[in-house]
Amino acid sequence: MNEHLRQIKTFYQEAFQTLDGKRDMPEIEVEFYPYIGINHTIRVRHGKVFVRLAEVCRDIPFNAHKALAYILVSKLLRKKIPQKTLETYRVFTKNQKLQEKVTENKRERGRKIITTSRGEVYDLDEIFNYLNQLYFENKIAKPTLTWSARKTYRILGHHDATHETIAVSRSLDDKKTPKYVVEFVVFHEMLHIFHPTEHRNGRRYNHTPQFRRDEKRFAHFEKAESWIGRNVKNFKVKSKKA
């Protein structure tokens, strides 16, 4: 973690200390995230706090970051946010340069290719809903689901956190592919949403032990792995987190 981020993290620790000093300090992870606009998220998973700050706000001054920390932590703890804190933060989000960045991001998103979840044989939307209910208590917010534009063979699935998209190789949209194989690829990518990338010592961990454990919960795990091993050469279920 770099110095800038480390400093920002201390604001979150301070906000927790100030707003909820009675409880033990939770473990906090702060990262910048390429949201299109000025969005930030804070959530708790397994007792750990995950903060994602809009990339466009990276360079706002520290006092604005500090105000933002108090705003997000207040929201999490359902505490009232002092007007002054809101104002401190808002002054910087109205900044013209920042607004220009947001406009540019939106323009870029507009250039994105059109996606389709309904294939010739399988409907990714339907598969997602089925898996979400069966394995995730419907807790995963639906990303954009799409069959890849080209028939890639090496990469069967792909989770793009930047655009909240799961893409599945069109090579699998085939009557010869068992449904559990398509389900397994979607399931794997859903796990990437469920277990966000962990950062330790400057490294990113996508397939953590917990991820691998959960992957085995898939009812046809071994059958699916073995089918892929037999039918897809050098396959790789790949995840990208930008």
Write down the least CB distance from residue 216 to Zn ion, Å: 14
The β-bridge partners of 32 are: 53
Write down the least CB distance from residue 29 to Zn ion, Å: 20
Write down the least CB distance from residue 237 to Zn ion, Å: 5
Inter-axis angle of helices 83-93 and 62-76, to 10 degrees? 130
Nearer to Zn ion by Cβ, of 74 and 148: the residue is: 148
Contact between residue 104 and residue 110 where contact means Cβ atoms under 8 Å apart: no
Write down the least CB distance from residue 79 to Zn ion, Å: 37
CB count within 10 Å of CB 104 equals 12
Distance, in Å, from the CA atom of 168 to the CA atom of 147, rounded to the nearest integer, reads: 5
Nearer to Zn ion by Cβ, of 65 and 192: the residue is: 192
Options 12-20, 41-49, 93-101, 233-241: segment touching Zn ion (CB under 5 A): 233-241
Could you tell me how many residues of this chain bind Zn ion (CB under 5 A)?
Answer: 1
Nearer to Zn ion by Cβ, of 92 and 235: the residue is: 235
Q: In what order do the strands lie in the sheet with 27-33?
A: 27-33, 48-54, 41-45
Nearer to Zn ion by Cβ, of 171 and 239: the residue is: 239
87, amino acid identity: E
Nearer to Zn ion by Cβ, of 101 and 195: the residue is: 195
Nearer to Zn ion by Cβ, of 10 and 197: the residue is: 197
Write down the least CB distance from residue 210 to Zn ion, Å: 13
The β-bridge partners of 53 are: 32
- Output phi, psi for 95, to 5 deg: -55, 135
Chain positions 80 to 119 lying near Zn ion, rule: CB under 5 A, are: none
Options 40-48, 131-139, 165-173, 231-239: segment touching Zn ion (CB under 5 A): 231-239
For residue 24, give both structure tokens.
Answer: 């033990």
C-alpha count within 13 angstroms, C-beta hemisphere, residue 37? 3
Does residue number 169 form part of the binding site for Zn ion (CB under 5 A)? no
* Mask for 181-220, x = binds Zn ion (CB under 5 A): ----------------------------------------
Nearer to Zn ion by Cβ, of 74 and 239: the residue is: 239
Place of tokens 């809009």: 54
- What would you report as the CA-atom Rg of the chain, rounded to the nearest whole angstrom? 20
DSSP code for 203: E
For residue 143, give both structure tokens.
Answer: 């990303």
147, amino acid identity: W
Write down the least CB distance from residue 241 to Zn ion, Å: 10
Among 88, 132, 148, 239, binds Zn ion (CB under 5 A): 239
Residue nearest to Zn ion (CB): 239
DSSP code for 241: -
Give the binding site for Zn ion (CB under 5 A). Answer: 239
